[in-house]
């Protein structure tokens, strides 16, 4: 999170300090506008006095660090605020939380929820006693450092051990932390087997066949540091997604089954916000003919509920979120859900569905094909719905195609299924004998 404060005042600065500390932390750039124009060139003594006055307005005081940044017009100051394990308020008793670009006062119930959640985010900061610096991959760290220089505050160039300490990847004694191993480890799954992800492509719209057997056509376990998990999950989903070419004017446009941003956002959120304290559970991505499900271990964090998930932002893993943001996997903090919904609507799909339990959070993306088939869902069996989905992708279906979709069903039953849809006016039968095929009426 980032805020520009061209003309800082103690009261405004205190509000930002409390809002950031109660959320996922952030950086306040004082003396400069968001466009980079220098407003006030501040002396070190002025900054120290300003911070001291602002901190006295925060209860308990918010811990900060600051550094000088060189801009085209002169020197500005960046004040870094870490996420705090404590609940902070202003001197008037109000509790603020950073939400988008505002510091929003919390209600009594929200304060209670946030207070109970404080401290859960400290797990990622814990040192991993069985790990050493050699468990972190220097090549991965170098890649991250290059990306961070592009996305970090102007003039910020941490490197070497300073970069790892600032990122929370190692503690003050040089021991790798949980987030450090997860983000930069050679093999994070050796220490945290729960950090892998599992992708399953099911044949049809159910997880089992009609005989109760697993109905999947592909299963992949994804391992590596979190950035690689995201990339590999995206690649395998992209391979399994349906794609089509659409002529728009004089240009050919390639369209995928789901909007790429919506899928990537769901994957990134699952990796960034899952509860890594939960052992024995992996992130699961389940792909069906009519929907994509992304299931993340751990319920909603902090004060987040299904009612405010679009407008609010809070992470149980702020260091991991920060790392993935600098890496470029998170485009803009706090705005991904909005855009995910917008992209799904623009593509003609239903809004994403969010389901939360105390132990899991699931995002379901449904494709437009699901709505076509559902028009007749009350009159048709699941095999027939599967045939309609096939027709939406292939324009025609033959008896052989239908048998491939339902290999455990007798040819006579499938022939009756198709005849039933013809009688109901859903399909047209074209041709005769071995040349027979069916199209949507």
Q: What is the CATH number of the domain that holds 217?
A: 3.30.565.60
Residues 401 and 277 in one domain: no
Average pLDDT taken over every residue of the chain: 85
Contacts of 364 (CB under 8 A, 6+ apart): 291, 292, 293, 294, 352, 353, 354, 355
Among 118, 153, 177, the domain boundary falls at 118
Residues 180 and 197 placed together within one structural domain of the fold = no
83 vs 208, residue with greater confidence: 83
For residues 149 and 167, membership in a common domain is answered with yes
Higher pLDDT among residues 263 and 389, named by residue: 263
Give the model's pLDDT for residue 190.
95
Q: Which residue has the higher pLDDT, 170 or 255?
A: 170
Residue from 287, 10, 27 nearest 154 by CA: 27
Half-sphere exposure of 396 (CA within 13 A, CB side): 11
With a cut of 70, say whether residue 120 has pLDDT above it.
no
When pLDDT is averaged across residues 306-310 and rounded to a whole number, the result is 84
Residue 245 confidence (pLDDT): 65
Say if residue 187 is in the same domain as residue 197: no
Is the model's pLDDT at 143 over the cut of 90? Answer: yes
Same domain, 365 and 379: no
Higher-confidence position of 322 and 225? 225
DSSP 221-233: EE-SSHHHHHHHH
Residues 290 and 252 grouped into a single domain: yes
Which of 151, 174, 191 lies at the terminal end of a domain, its last residue? 191
* Residue that wins the pLDDT comparison between 338 and 364: 364
Answer yes or no: are the C-beta atoms of 95 and 302 closer than 8 Å. Answer: no
Express each pLDDT in 194-246 by its tens digit. Answer: 999 999 999 878 777 655 556 678 899 999 999 999 999 999 999 999 887 65
Quick one: pLDDT at residue 246?
58
Confidence band, pLDDT 50/70/90 cuts, at residue 283: very high
Residues 135, 54: one domain? Answer: no
- C-alpha span between 407 and 417 (Å, rounded): 14
399-429 tens-digit pLDDT: 988 998 888 889 899 999 999 999 988 898 9
Range of the domain at 80: 2-118
Q: Does residue 387 sit in the same domain as residue 303?
A: no
Q: What does the DSSP assignment read for 117-130?
A: HTTGGGGGGSB-TT
* Range from 216-230, 281-295, 307-321, 406-420 carrying the lowest mean pLDDT: 307-321
Tell whether 205 and 343 lie within a shared domain: yes
160 and 250 both lie in a single domain? no
- Domain count of the chain? 4
> At residue 169, does pLDDT exceed 90?
yes
Distance (Å, whole) CA 145 – CA 152: 10
Comparing CA positions, the residue from 358, 354, 275, 280 lying closest to residue 317 is 275
CATH number at residue 113: 3.30.950.30
Residues 257 and 338 in one domain: yes
User: What percent of the chain has a predicted confidence (pLDDT) above 90?
Assistant: 39
Model pTM above 0.85: no
Q: What is the pLDDT of residue 212?
A: 58
Q: Compute the average pLDDT of residues 153-166.
A: 79
| Res. 440 pLDDT band, cuts 50 70 90 | confident
Domain shared by 142 and 46, yes or no: no
Checking if the pLDDT of 370 tops 60, the result is no
Contact in structure between 83 and 322 (CB atoms under 8 Å) = no
Instruction: Please write the tens of the pLDDT for every residue from 15-54.
Output: 999 999 988 888 888 877 777 777 766 777 788 888 889 9
Tell me which of 347, 369, 391 is where a domain ends.
369
CATH of the domain at 386: 1.10.10.10
Once rounded to an integer, what is the mean pLDDT over residues 98-127? 80
């Amino acid at each position: 999170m980032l805020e520009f404060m061209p003309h800082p005042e103690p009261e405004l600065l205190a509000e930002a300090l409390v809002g950031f500390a109660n959320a996922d932390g952030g950086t306040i750039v004082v003396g400069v506008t968001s466009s980079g124009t220098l407003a006030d060139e501040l002396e070190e003594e002025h900054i120290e006095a300003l911070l001291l006055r602002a901190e006295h307005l925060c209860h308990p005081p918010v811990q900060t660090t600051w550094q000088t940044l060189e801009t085209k017009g002169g020197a500005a100051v960046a004040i870094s605020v870490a996420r705090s394990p404590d609940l902070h308020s202003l001197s008037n008793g109000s509790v603020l939380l950073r939400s988008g670009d505002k510091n929003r006062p919390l209600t009594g119930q929200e304060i209670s929820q946030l207070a109970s959640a404080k401290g859960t985010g400290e797990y990622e900061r814990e040192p991993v006693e069985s790990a050493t610096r050699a468990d972190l991959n220097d090549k991965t760290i170098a890649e991250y450092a290059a990306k961070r220089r592009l996305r970090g505050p102007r003039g910020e160039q941490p490197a070497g051990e300073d970069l790892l300490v600032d990122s929370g990847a190692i503690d003050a004694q040089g021991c790798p932390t949980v987030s450090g191993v997860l983000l930069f480890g050679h093999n994070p799954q050796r220490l945290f087997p729960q950090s892998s992800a599992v992708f399953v492509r099911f044949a049809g719209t159910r997880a089992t066949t009609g005989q109760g057997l697993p109905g999947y056509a592909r299963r992949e376990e994804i391992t590596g540091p979190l950035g690689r998990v995201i990339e590999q999950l995206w690649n395998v989903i992209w391979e399994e997604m349906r794609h089509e070419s659409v002529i728009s004017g004089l240009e050919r446009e390639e369209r995928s089954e789901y909007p790429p941003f919506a899928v990537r956002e769901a994957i990134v959120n699952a990796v960034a916000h899952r509860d890594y304290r939960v052992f024995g559970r992996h992130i699961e991505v389940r792909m069906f003919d009519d929907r994509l499900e992304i299931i993340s271990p751990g319920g909603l964090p902090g004060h987040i509920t299904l009612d405010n998930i679009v407008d609010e932002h809070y992470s149980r893993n702020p260091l991991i979120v920060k790392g993935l943001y600098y890496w470029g996997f998170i485009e803009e903090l706090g705005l991904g859900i909005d855009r995910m919904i917008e992209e799904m609507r623009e593509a003609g799909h239903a809004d994403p569905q969010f389901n939360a339990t105390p132990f899991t959070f699931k995002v379901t993306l449904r494709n437009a094909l699901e709505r076509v088939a559902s028009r007749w869902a009350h009159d048709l069996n699941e095999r027939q719905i599967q045939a309609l989905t096939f027709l939406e992708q292939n324009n025609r279906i033959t008896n052989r195609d239908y048998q491939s979709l339902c290999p455990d069903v007798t040819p006579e039953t499938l022939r009756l299924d198709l005849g039933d849809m013809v009688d109901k006016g859903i399909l047209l039968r074209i041709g005769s004998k071995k040349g027979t095929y069916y199209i949507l009426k």
